[in-house]
Structure 1
C-alpha cells in the first residue's frame, strides 16, 4: 500500500511539473520532407494516441504508457512522454514509468524534471547507483536557488524509501555542495525527521558554523541536540539566544521542554511562566505551568490553573484528567472519581477510565468497575485490548481468577494467537496452580515470538520461585535479559534464580540493580532473603523495613518479619 501511495504521489508531482500540451492537434509533423511519409507518421501517432487513451480509460495503464511513449518517440514530443509517465505511475508500474521518463529526458535533455523524477523512481527500486547518476545530472540542470527547492527534492526522493538508501543519495548531494546552507538545512530537517541522529547532528553543527548569526540555524541545532538526548547543550544554546531575543516565544517553549527533559523543573516552570508573561492566554503554557506546579508540590497553584483551563473547550478533557490526578495523589478518591468521570474524549480518556475502575475496585465495587470498562465503547483495537486486559487484572486482584480465565478464553476464540491474551491467561493459570497449562501458553508465545522477553522471564521466574529446573530457569531468564538488558523485573528474576542456585553474591548484585530502578515490595523481599542467607541480618531487617514503609500490607514482606527477627 505504501508503494502504491508513493507512485500516486509521484504522479501528482509530475502533473505539476509543466503544462501537459499533449493534444493530438499539437503533435508536430516529422522533419521528413516527403509529404507522404509525414502523413503516414502523423497517422501512426494519432492511432497510438487513440489506443493509449482507450487503454487508460479501461484502466490498462501499463499498455497506455507504452503507447504514449511510442507516440512521444515517433513524434518527438516531450509532452506525450510526460503523459506516459503519468499513466505508468497511476498504474503503479515503476519500470514503465522509468522507460517513459528516460524517453522524456532524451526528448528534453535540458529539462531537470525527468532527471528529478528518475532519481526518485530508481531510489524506490533500490538502485542507488542509478539514482546518484540522475541526481548528479539534476544538479547540473537545476540551480536550486532556495531552501524550498531542496525540501521539494527530499520530498520527491523520500517515497517508500528506507532511510539508509535515501541518505546514501543525499550524502552525495551534501558532499558536492558542502557549504550550501540551504542544502544543509533541508538535509538536517530530513535527517532529524527520519531519526538519523548522527547525520542531523553533524549537518546542523556545520550549518550553525557557516551561519553563526542565523536564528533558524541556531533553533534547528537546538532541536537536533534536544532530540538526540543532549538537553543541556540545547538549553545553553537557547539561553544564549534568548538573552538577545527575550520575546521569542517559540524559543522559550523549546527551552522549557529541554529543561523538563532534564528534570530541571524549577527552571522549566520559570520558562513557561515567562511565556505567560508575554502571552497570558497561551493555553499550552498554562497547562505546562500547572503540571510543573503540581510536580513541585505547589498543588494550590496547579489546581487554580487547571480549574481555569477546564473552562476552555479544547483543553477541558486534559484539565479534568489532571485535576483527577491531583485529587488522586492527595488521597481524595471521591474527588478523583468525579474529575476522571468528566474526561469525555481525547488522549487521556482511556487512562481516566482505567483509573476510575481501579478506584472503584479498591472501594469494593468490583462489578461496577468491570461494567465501566466493558461498556466503554468507541475505542480502537489497541485501546479495546487495554480495557480488556484491565478487566482481567481487576478480576485476578479481586480473587476471581476463574472468571478472568473465562473472559480470556472468550476473547481468544476470535484471536487465538494474540500474544497479550495468551500471556494474560498464562498468568491466570499460574494463579490457579495449573502450571502445565501455563507453560503450554508460554511455549505457544515463544513459538510465535521466540524473543518475547515477558514470556521468557515469566516462565523462568515461575520455575525459580518453585525451586524447579533451575538451570532451565536461568537460561530462560538470561535470554529475556539479552532482549531487555536493564529491565528491573528481569534483573529481579535473575537475582532470584541465582539465589536459588546458591550464588548469593551474584544474587545480591542483580537484586540491588533491580531495586535501584524498581522499589517494589517483591524486590525488597528478595533482597532481604538474600542478605539474611549471607548472614547480614541487620542489613536484611533494614531492607525489610524500607519495603514495609512503602508497602505495609504486602503479604510476602509481612511473612518475612518473623523469619528475620533477631
Structure 2
C-alpha cells in the first residue's frame, strides 16, 4: 500500500522550479569537462555515403549485424558520434558486449560529454567485471552532470537500476565513500542498495544523508518505502507522518495525504494536501486533489472555489473536467437544475458521455421522465458499446423513483435487443427478486448463469433469493457455496452464506460468516441480518446495539426497518 504513493509523490515534485527561477535570464552555458580531438572530414565521399545509407536500410530490415558494421565504418570515417551511438545501441540490444564496447569507445571519443555514452560504457564495464573502467566512467558522468546542472548521483543510480549485475553495489559504495560529505551520494547508495534488498546498507546510507541534510525530503520517502518493503507498514506510516509534520515539504505532505486517502481518512488528508498546496500554490495536480477531497468531505465553499479556479486558469487545459466537478458539487448539494446546466457545458473530452448520463438521470429526477428517456435513447445510439450499461442505468433510475414496472419494461426492451447479455439478465433478476417475483428472478439468474456459469454475483443472488424468499435452503446453500469458492473474500457472499445458514438454523456457523461480512463492509442489510441472528441466539443487547446504530446511520433502509419490527 505504501510503495506507490511515495514514488508518485517524488514524480510529481521532481524538477519543479520556483516561479522566480523561471523568470530569471538563462545562465551562460557551463564549460564542459571533456574535449574531443576528433576532426571530421571536410567532404563526404561515396563510400561514406554508402555506409550511412546501407546502415539505415539494414536497420529497417532488421539485419542488425550488417547495420552495425556499416554504421561503425561511417562513424570512423566521419568521426560521427551519432552513427557511433546507433551502432552501440544496436549491439547493446543484441547483448553483444564486445561490439557494444567498441562502438561506445568511438562514441565517447567523438562526443566525450555524452552522458548516455558514459552510461553505456559504465554498464558494459560492469558486465565485463572491469571495475576500474566502470569507476572511471561513473566519475565522468558526475563531472558532466555537474557542468550541465544535473544531479549526477541520481543519474548514476538510475543507470545502475537498469542492470542486475552485483558489481553495481561495489561501484556505488566506492562512489559514496569518495563523496562521503555529499547527501546526494549517500542517497544514491541507499537507492541502489534498496533495489538489491540490502536494507541495512540502505538505511545506514540514509542516516548519513539525513545527517548532512536533515530537511531534504527524498531520504524520508525512500526510508518509508524500505520500511514498507520489509513489511513494517505501521513503522512506515509513523515515519511518514513524523517527517511530514517536522519537515513539511510538498512531497512529504502529499505522500502522507495520499496514504490518508487510501485509508479513507479524507478530512485529515485534505489538511495535508492544503498544506502542500500552500507551499506550492501553482501545482495544478495538488489543486485538483484538494478539489476532489473538498467534494468528498462536503466542504462546499472550498470545492467551489477550487474548481472555479481550475476552470478559469488557461494553463490548466481541463476546463471540461472542472465543469464536470462543478456539476457534481451542485448535484451533491441537491441543486439538480444547476448541476444539469454545468454538465451541459461539457462539449468534449473523456467526461462528456458521463456528463450526458448524469444529465439524463437528473432530468428524470426532476420529473421529466419522457425527456429523460429520450436522452437515454440518444446516448444508446451515439455510444452503442455502452448501450447495455445505459439500459441498466435508466432502469435503476426508475427503480429509485419507485417505478419498478417501468424499470422492468426498460429491461424487457434491453433483453430483446441483447438477449445474450448476462449482465442484463442478472440486473433484471435482481429487480424481479425485489418485487417478490421469485419465478422470474430465478429464471433470469439461471439464464445469466447459462451464459456465464462462474459468475459469482449471479450465483450469490440466486442463492440468497432462494434462502430469503423460499424454503429451498439446500439449493440456496449449494449456489452460495459455489459463489464463495469463486470469491471467498466478498462481503456480500459472506453475508449470503451467513443468512442461508441462519435460515437452516445453523446459528453458530451463521454468526461467523455474518460477523466477517460486517467487518468487511458497512452495509445496512448485513447489519440487519447480523442483528437478527444475534437476537435469535439470545445476544439481545448486542443485537439491539448493532441495529440501533445502523438505523441511525441508515434511517430509511427497509431491511433494517423490517428487522427492527420483527424483533420488537
Q: Fold match, TM over 0.5?
A: yes
Q: Distance in 2 between matches of 1:68 and 1:282?
A: 46
Which residue number in structure 2 is paired with residue 234 of structure 1? 240
Alpha-carbon shift at residue 495 of structure 1 (Å): 1.9
Does 2:534 align with 1:531?
yes
CA RMSD, Structure 1 to Structure 2 (Å): 5.6
Q: Distance in 2 between matches of 1:391 and 1:554?
A: 22
Which residue number in structure 2 is paired with residue 174 of structure 1? 169
Cα distance change on mapping 1:525 and 1:384 into 2, 3 Å: same
Give matches, 1:110-189, under 5 Å.
132-133=127-128, 139-140=134-135, 142-144=137-139, 145-146=141-142, 168-169=164-165, 172-174=167-169, 176-178=171-173, 180=176, 185=187
Does 2:111 align with 1:105?
no
Which residue number in structure 2 is paired with residue 439 of structure 1? 446
Cα distance change on mapping 1:202 and 1:358 into 2, 3 Å: farther
Instruction: Tell me if the contact between 1:527 and 1:540 (Cα under 8 Å) persists in the aligned partners.
Output: yes
Alpha-carbon shift at residue 504 of structure 1 (Å): 1.6
Q: Distance in 1 between matches of 2:122 and 2:450?
A: 48
Alpha-carbon shift at residue 523 of structure 1 (Å): 1.7
Which residue number in structure 2 is paired with residue 209 of structure 1? 207
Does 2:490 align with 1:495?
no
Q: Distance in 2 between matches of 1:185 and 1:381?
A: 53
Give matches, 1:190-269, under 5 Å.
205-213=203-211, 218-224=216-222, 230-242=236-248
Q: Distance in 1 between matches of 2:271 and 2:264?
A: 13
Q: Distance in 1 between matches of 2:278 and 2:533?
A: 56
Which residue number in structure 2 is paired with residue 407 of structure 1? 414
Q: Which runs of no fewer than 5 residues in structure 2 stay unpaired?
A: 1-35, 109-115, 143-149, 177-182, 433-439
Which residue number in structure 2 is paired with residue 508 of structure 1? 511
Instruction: Tell me if the contact between 2:119 and 2:137 (Cα under 8 Å) persists in the aligned partners.
Output: no
Larger relative contact order (Cα-Cα within 8 Å, sequence gap ≥ 6): 2
Deviations 1:422-473 (A, max 9, x none): 3343332454525355335335435xxx6x6545644654565452424523
Q: Which moves more between the two structures, 230-239 or 179-188?
A: 179-188
Q: Which runs of no fewer than 5 residues in structure 1 stay unpaired?
A: 1-17, 28-42, 122-129, 159-165, 243-247
Which residue number in structure 2 is paired with residue 36 of structure 1? none
Cα distance change on mapping 1:25 and 1:439 into 2, 3 Å: farther
Instruction: Tell me if the contact between 2:518 and 2:527 (Cα under 8 Å) persists in the aligned partners.
Output: yes
Alpha-carbon shift at residue 519 of structure 1 (Å): 3.5
Instruction: Tell me if the contact between 2:392 and 2:424 (Cα under 8 Å) persists in the aligned partners.
Output: yes
Q: Which moves more between the two structures, 220-229 or 372-381?
A: 372-381
Cα distance change on mapping 1:474 and 1:264 into 2, 3 Å: closer
Q: Distance in 1 between matches of 2:247 and 2:295?
A: 29
SS at match of 2:210: coil
Cα distance change on mapping 1:411 and 1:168 into 2, 3 Å: farther
Cα distance change on mapping 1:534 and 1:366 into 2, 3 Å: farther
Deviations 1:33-75 (A, max 9, x none): xxxxxxxxxx9xx69x9599458548763446337538969x9
Instruction: Tell me if the contact between 1:256 and 1:269 (Cα under 8 Å) persists in the aligned partners.
Output: yes
Instruction: Tell me if the contact between 1:275 and 1:285 (Cα under 8 Å) persists in the aligned partners.
Output: yes
Does 2:434 align with 1:428?
no
